[in-house]
Structure 1
Amino acid sequence: MGVFLTNNLKVYNDYVDDYTSYELVPQERNILVKFKERWGKTRMLDIGVGTGRTSFTFSAIVNDYTGIDYSHEMIKKCKTVIEENESVRFDLQDATDLSQYIDNKFDFILFSMNGLCSVGHDDRVKILSEVYKVISDDGFFFFSTHSLHTFPNHFPFKIKLPKFNKRQPLHWAYQWWKLLLRRFRIQRLYKGVDTNEICGKPWAILATGDHDFKIQIYHIKPDYQVKQLEDSGFEVVSVYDERGNERDPLKENINEYMYFLCKKNKV
């Protein structure tokens, strides 16, 4: 496990109680409908399950469900929420090594909530290689990732402060203070940094405020993500933005996080 991966792991173990949502995001709901005829026969691998947000839904509808995470605290919490049985299991597992599943080809592999962005470049490529090894020939890989085009949005003049909420003034004040503090911290962190140079790269590892600036996140340009997948043996089927709308990663500078649906390239 690389230093980058290890450092982020420590933070995730400390912040396990912050992950309390069990709702699917729009892109995941789209996939739920898209493959509704397949779920009952699907063997699924859910990577980076955290405390079981996606597990809650998918473990109930697929034929066989395996959820993994490299955080022992996340997996422990997950097992208290969802009971394991002969068709539902949770493993403490680093996605850079999926060799234990090499004989269990999965029909659908999910890596949600930008989990693939919690690792460095070499580990990211390694994970894509490992996923390719354990996915069935007709299987699908669905994952989300941060776009490098979002980088300018993190700067002070780009951050929108929340409008006053007279029904919840204390909550509004708290959110306002958090964003204001974030403005100053980002301004200090990137003082003197050539942001144009960063935006000119195909990918970059950045600290943009996640978990109180304690973790660094991998950001990638949409078109380079397509290349990265193709180099790993995948073919992109479709790409969705934050609202679940289909986008073209080769023609659009998508400035929000993206979900990629892909499959093995059989050519």
Structure 2
Amino acid sequence: MKEDVTYINQRIWFAEDIALEYAREQTPVPAETAILHQLGDTLQHASLLDIGIGAGRTTAFLAPACNQYVGIDYSQAMIDIATARFPTLPLHQQDARDLSAFAEASVDMVWFSYNGIDYVPHEDRLKILQEIRRILKPNGLFIFSSHNRDHKIYPAYHWKNLQLTLNPKRMARRMIGYLTGIINAIKHRAQQIQTDDYAIFNDQAHHYTMLTYYISGKKQIEQLNASGFAVEGLWGMKGERLKDDEVYVGGYSIYYLAKRYQNNTSIFSN
């Protein structure tokens, strides 16, 4: 019997040791810095819902920059750490598939970083997009990142996963991780999915323990258009602005800036 994608991934996100690992990260990645620059003064007047805050990485730079801030994550372990770091901020354990706590057209911006939208099944991803569109005000902005299907994914047995080093203790740990990855990849091989529009791959995250949604830039634009968003811009992981004819580049994930429109037009749809 196949295990549910959500359940498989939750075993990682809900783990306390994983939460502590993410607590070490506190700064925006280059793509986020570029988007913050693009937003300019708009952010300081905005109400913002930060989804998938983890241990508070995005909270550290988004909360001071906006007018009203709420952060959520569906891992209680993550929220516990984030709340300890930012005890005065409204941070809550909540699932992005159900944003019923937020009224329709009540938020200026939604931020969903670190590919957090990629760890649920396809149908749930569309549900998340519907919920985000519902709570955004007309012309509200949605910023998120997603794994790029056009980026090369290495199989578990690939030598790059071994990360050779001359330090014998470190090499021993890496060898254990390498073999663990191969075992996990074999275990999850049957859960992988490939369609014309998207794929769910068992990639190298946490030694191949997870199932991750991958979509090309062009297909993601189509998905956003169909969900009632217009794409305003795309960025690669190094912070480079991507054009409509080069969305296949940008590294292992792409950052998107989309706007909630009443129609489904996009600057990339022609």
**TM-score normalized by the length of structure 1:** 0.83
1:222 aligned to 2:247?
A: no
SS of structure 1 residue aligned to 2:69:
strand
Provide Cα deviations, 1:118-142, integer angstroms capped at 9, x if missing partner. 1110000000000000111132100
1:243 aligned to 2:238?
A: yes
SS of structure 1 residue aligned to 2:41:
coil
Which aligned pairs between 1:247-266 and structure 2 lie closer than 5 A? 247-248=242-243, 250-254=245-249, 256-266=252-262
Q: Who is 2:64 aligned against?
A: 60
C-alpha contact 1:162 1:175 (8 A) present in aligned 2: no
C-alpha contact 1:109 1:135 (8 A) present in aligned 2: yes
SS of structure 2 residue aligned to 1:140:
strand
Which segment drifts farther, 21-30 or 35-44?
Answer: 35-44
Alignment partner for residue 229 of structure 2, among 228, 234, 258? 234
Give how far 1:81 is off: 0.6
Letter in 2 for 1:140: L
Q: Who is 1:146 aligned against?
A: 147
1:17 aligned to 2:13?
A: no
1:26 aligned to 2:30?
A: yes
Q: Who is 1:129 aligned against?
A: 130
Give how far 1:8 is off: 1.6
Measured on the aligned residues, the alpha-carbon RMSD in Å equals: 2.9
SS of structure 1 residue aligned to 2:80:
helix
Give the unaligned 5+ runs of structure 2: 264-270
SS of structure 2 residue aligned to 1:150:
coil
SS of structure 2 residue aligned to 1:149:
coil
C-alpha contact 1:156 1:186 (8 A) present in aligned 2: no
Which aligned pairs between 1:48-87 and structure 2 lie closer than 5 A? 48-84=52-88
Percent identity of the aligned residues? 26
Letter in 2 for 1:226: I
Which segment drifts farther, 69-78 or 152-161?
Answer: 152-161
Provide Cα deviations, 1:85-128, integer angstroms capped at 9, x if missing partner. xxx31121111111221256211110000000011100000000
Give the unaligned 5+ runs of structure 1: none
Find the aligned partners of 2:126 and 2:80 in 1 and give their Cα distance. 28
Which segment drifts farther, 57-66 or 240-249?
Answer: 240-249
Query: How many residues in Structure 1 have an aligned counterpart in Structure 2?
Result: 256
Give how far 1:203 is off: 0.9
Which segment drifts farther, 125-134 or 30-39?
Answer: 30-39
Find the aligned partners of 1:178 and 1:250 in 2 and give their Cα distance. 42
C-alpha contact 1:13 1:74 (8 A) present in aligned 2: yes
Find the aligned partners of 1:246 and 1:179 in 2 and give their Cα distance. 35
Provide Cα deviations, 1:54-104, integer angstroms capped at 9, x if missing partner. 0011111211101011111111111001122xxx31121111111221256
Letter in 2 for 1:29: T
Find the aligned partners of 1:8 and 1:38 in 2 and give their Cα distance. 35
Which aligned pairs between 1:173-188 and structure 2 lie closer than 5 A? 173=171, 177=175, 180-181=178-179, 184=182
**TM-score normalized by the length of structure 2:** 0.82
Letter in 2 for 1:59: A
Which segment drifts farther, 207-216 or 235-244?
Answer: 207-216
C-alpha contact 2:181 2:204 (8 A) present in aligned 1: no
SS of structure 1 residue aligned to 2:64:
coil
C-alpha contact 2:185 2:202 (8 A) present in aligned 1: no
Q: Who is 2:100 aligned against?
A: 99
Letter in 1 for 2:58: T
